[in-house]
């Protein structure tokens, strides 16, 4: 919690934190942590067994080295969750450890998950990434990131749980609008009858 100018306690706001960090470091960039095992330097990979667990240990070491080299010049990290999920449980442990280490170094964490589903499922995703998961009579923060990316394709009920957690916990979301991948126009550029009437 922080105090506003009137001395009242208010929830820290993730966007304000990110903006302040950008100003402090005079740098608006973000470092993506999308670890591809075969691109991790051999000097790190060779320390560990060629197993799922060994690959994840190498990823953690590599990520920590990147964070150590950039935390005082770059305000935020953006781990792409797919590159951790592909390693199963050990990968998710590596993901969590990466997020925790970045936060320890006072970097903002933007989870690149692009989640978007119906209300109850969206609530589960939001609880995991920026909200809290109810357990009995208490709630626990799981990944506790400042931000998560979301996909609005299923409509507002897929976004509302994230907005609720943003409001309650002072977090933020980045909503996908138009992507840059080569085939994005197959759906994103389609002119519909409704859109034609509104033009």
Catalytic residues: 114
Instruction: Assign 56 to helix, strand or coil.
Output: helix
CB atoms within 10 A of CB 117: 17
DSSP state string for 100-138: HHHHHTT-EEEEEEEE---HHHHHHHHHHHTS-EEETTE
Number of residues that this document lists for the chain: 199
Could you give the angle at the alpha carbon of 71 between the alpha carbons of 35 and 84, nearest 5°?
20
Whether residue 157 contacts residue 122, with contact meaning beta carbons closer than 8 Å, is answered with: yes
Burial class (CB within 10 angstroms; exposed 0-12, middle 13-18, buried 19+) of 136 = exposed
């Amino acid at each position: 919690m922080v105090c506003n100018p009137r001395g009242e306690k208010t929830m820290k706001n993730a966007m304000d934190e990110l903006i302040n960090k950008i100003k402090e470091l005079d740098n608006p960039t973000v470092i993506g942590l999308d670890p591809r095992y075969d691109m991790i330097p051999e000097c790190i990979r060779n320390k560990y067994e060629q197993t799922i667990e060994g690959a994840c240990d190498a990823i953690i070491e590599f990520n920590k080295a990147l964070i150590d080299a950039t935390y005082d010049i770059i305000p935020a990290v953006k781990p792409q969750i797919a590159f951790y999920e592909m390693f199963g449980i050990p990968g998710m442990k590596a993901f969590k450890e990466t997020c925790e280490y970045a936060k320890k170094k006072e970097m903002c964490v933007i989870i690149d998950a692009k989640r978007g589903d119906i209300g109850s499922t969206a609530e589960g995703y939001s609880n995991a990434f920026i909200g809290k998961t109810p357990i009995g009579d208490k709630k626990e923060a799981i990944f506790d990131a400042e931000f998560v990316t979301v996909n609005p394709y299923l409509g507002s009920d897929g976004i509302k749980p994230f907005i609720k957690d943003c409001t309650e916990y002072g977090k933020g979301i980045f909503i996908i609008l138009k992507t840059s991948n080569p085939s994005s126009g197959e759906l994103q550029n389609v002119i519909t009858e409704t859109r034609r009437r509104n033009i």
